[in-house]
Structure 1
Amino acid sequence: MATRIRPSSKRCAVIGGSGFLGRHLVERLLERGYAVAVFDIRQTYELPGVTFHLGDLCDTQALLPALKDTPLVFHCASPAPASDDRALFQRVNVQGTRTVIQACTQLGVQKLVLTSSASVVFEGTDIKDGSEDLPYAKKPMDYYTETKIQQEKLVPILVDTARRGKMKFIIGDGTNLVDFTFVENVVHGHILAAEHLRPESPLCGKPYHITNDEPIRFWDFMSEVLVGLGYAAPRYHLPYMLVYGLALLLWVVALVLGPLVSFKPTFTPMRVALAGTHHYYSCERAKRDMGYRPPVGLTEAIARTVASYPHLRHGAA
């Protein structure tokens, strides 16, 4: 049972608080003395100081009780990255966010912090030290815009491939730099944004990149993860354009045969692009405006990530 909230407590709501990022955010907010209301389609845990409200994100009447008397709202709800349901993404990411804004306005919520994705500016070509002023992608590569989650989802896919002895190839020349951001650093950025957000603040209405501030070669990162789990690192190179072309062809075949056969290629054009191009971003604006510094360095982040996946280790049942 949730603990009783004292009137003097700091209060906030986390929409999507049952998800991976959402739960980490909730736990850190509790550590900082907040009483937290979670709104989600499901409840996956219980914690003292947290009240759960279940419902449809697009249902204003279901959402209002979770946000009532709450000056601060974090919105980090999003469909699962494996989904390819265009209507679902439209409903949750667009209609749902519109509902959140309307509810916040109706209740007089003072602060709203929205979790977005660097992929909104990514079109499959190199981005080096990208700023928040980059224009939106004119041709988005897929429905799901959480690039970081897409990258993290590649890890289990690569581990499964390594288990079958097929993780031997590097897409491209292997020199492309990317950002991998540890979840605790993302949470830290969210809380800094909330606590620096006030009238006349430079944060109002602006996007901010939250990164580990340590761009790394994509295949070096993957190799460190795989070696840490007891697998061999990939060694052989495949031309990027060849692999991208094959992925595009398979995507078209899957699209054509979709009504007849259940066929979903492992490596989509988006995933190949993520694996073979530069895409890393500057967090200088976050450093300047809210004093952001990543609390967990990349070396430690990789070690902690590997340690958290014992079931993926080589030889694990």
Structure 2
Amino acid sequence: MSCRRKGSDVVLHVASYGMSGKEMLNRKKTREINVLGTRNVIAACIAAGVARLVYTSTYNVVFGGVPISNGSELLPYYPAEKHVDEYSASKTVAEQLVLSANGAYLPEGSSGSYPQRQLATCAIRSAAIYGEGEERHFPRIVRSMNRGLFCITIGDPSSKVDWVHVDNLVHAHLKACQHLLAPLSASRLPGGPRSAQSAHGVAAGQAYFISDGAPVNNFQFLRGVSDALGVRFPAVAAPVWAMITLAWCIEIVWQVLSAAGIEFNPLITRAEVLKVCLPGEYDATL
């Protein structure tokens, strides 16, 4: 991998794999793309002398099935080896790679002169994404509803999570680019540990949660979709333990069949059950 465009000022690393569906169960490919791919992006930035790198991360790096309310960037990483899915584990490792690369020295003659030839990095931890062009969550949700599979909700209806509209997520990335450029005398972005400040902007070396700032129950959030499709909203709520058990069984069946060359899109995975039904609210104030 290389950054061939001369004069590039910033790289936005938005690519990832295995966020949902059957791709989530392909552990090898998920690890290769999310971890090895990120190593390659960092190396390419340094080799090409691109001084700023913004990494699209995820809430999952701190969430592992334990309810979180009003979480901040001071929360520790959830141990990668304890995640039930490779996507969350690999994104945790990749984010740490990106942030640890902050301050890496760039070659002579590079654009990294702000004021030193060093790489400035930050991570944007996105909530679940919706909006125009989103291809992972809502197309799958709509297909499930149209097939009559939206027949239950899961867990406590008072449980709330964050979502982020794609426009807000794009805005966050643009602000990150801007504040990797800004000198330290500029106004600091609140949130997150500040001990790793470099000679770059105030966002250098930092991670930020990004959401709409309007936590909502996942199934209430989807009520508008079911209404628009003419699908009856479920009246029955399944307990979390039952859905975890079902998801675990589905994953085992998928692994067995995929080894035989037969793949299918699982109804739900354990990681998706946890994300759907357990509270996950974070302070995304910037």
**Structure-1-length-normalised TM-score:** 0.64
Contact 1:73 1:113 in 2 (8 A): yes
Q: Is the aligned partner of 1:64 residue 2:6? A: no
C-alpha root-mean-square deviation of aligned residues, in Å? 2.4
CA offsets per residue over residues 92-111 of structure 1, 9 Å max, x none? 22222222212222222221
2:153 pairs, out of 165, 170, 191, with 170
Percent identity for Structure 1 against Structure 2 = 33
2:157 aligned partner, one-letter code: G
Q: Which residue of 2 aligns with 1:243?
A: 243
Q: Is the aligned partner of 1:140 residue 2:77? A: no
Q: Which residue of 2 aligns with 1:8?
A: none
Q: CA deviation at 1:162?
A: 2.4
Greater relative contact order, per chain length (Cα 8 Å cut-off, separation 6+): 2
Whole-angstrom CA distance in 2 between matches of 1:70 and 1:263: 41
2:141 pairs, out of 125, 145, 158, with 158
**Greater CA drift, 236-245 or 251-260:** 251-260
Q: CA deviation at 1:205?
A: 0.7
Q: Which residue of 2 aligns with 1:225?
A: 225
Q: Which residue of 2 aligns with 1:277?
A: 278
Whole-angstrom CA distance in 2 between matches of 1:257 and 1:140: 23
Q: Which residue of 2 aligns with 1:203?
A: 203
2:85 aligned partner, one-letter code: D
Q: CA deviation at 1:200?
A: 4.3
Q: Is the aligned partner of 1:97 residue 2:38? A: yes
Q: Is the aligned partner of 1:193 residue 2:176? A: yes
What SS does structure 2 have at the residue aligned with 1:129?
strand
Q: CA deviation at 1:190?
A: 0.4
Give the number of equivalent residue pairs.
223
Q: Which residue of 1 aligns with 2:55?
A: 114
Contact 1:124 1:141 in 2 (8 A): no
Q: Which residue of 1 aligns with 2:216?
A: 216
Q: Against the structure 1 CA distance between its residues 64 and 163, is the aligned structure 2 distance closer, same or farther, given a 3 Å change threshold?
A: closer
1:76 aligned partner, one-letter code: V
Please list, as runs of the form range in 1=range in 2, the aligned pairs for 1:30-45 lying within 5 A after superposition: none
List alignment gaps of at least 5 residues for structure 2: 92-126, 182-198
Q: Which residue of 1 aligns with 2:118?
A: none
Q: CA deviation at 1:256?
A: 3.9
What SS does structure 1 have at the residue aligned with 2:163?
coil
CA offsets per residue over residues 71-108 of structure 1, 9 Å max, x none? 12111111264423323222222222222212222222
Contact 1:172 1:240 in 2 (8 A): yes
2:205 aligned partner, one-letter code: G
Q: Against the structure 1 CA distance between its residues 261 and 99, is the aligned structure 2 distance closer, same or farther, given a 3 Å change threshold?
A: closer
What SS does structure 2 have at the residue aligned with 1:209?
strand
1:131 aligned partner, one-letter code: S
Q: Is the aligned partner of 1:73 residue 2:39? A: no
Q: CA deviation at 1:154?
A: 4.1
What SS does structure 2 have at the residue aligned with 1:266?
coil
Q: What stretches of structure 1 move > 4 A for 4+ residues in a row?
A: 149-152
Q: CA deviation at 1:217?
A: 1.0
**Structure-2-length-normalised TM-score:** 0.70
1:278 aligned partner, one-letter code: P
Whole-angstrom CA distance in 2 between matches of 1:79 and 1:119: 14
Q: Against the structure 1 CA distance between its residues 125 and 152, is the aligned structure 2 distance closer, same or farther, given a 3 Å change threshold?
A: farther
What SS does structure 2 have at the residue aligned with 1:181?
strand
1:184 pairs, out of 157, 167, 170, with 167
2:3 aligned partner, one-letter code: L
Contact 1:118 1:209 in 2 (8 A): yes
Whole-angstrom CA distance in 1 between matches of 2:129 and 2:85: 13
Contact 1:155 1:222 in 2 (8 A): no
Q: Against the structure 1 CA distance between its residues 110 and 280, is the aligned structure 2 distance closer, same or farther, given a 3 Å change threshold?
A: same
Contact 1:223 1:234 in 2 (8 A): no
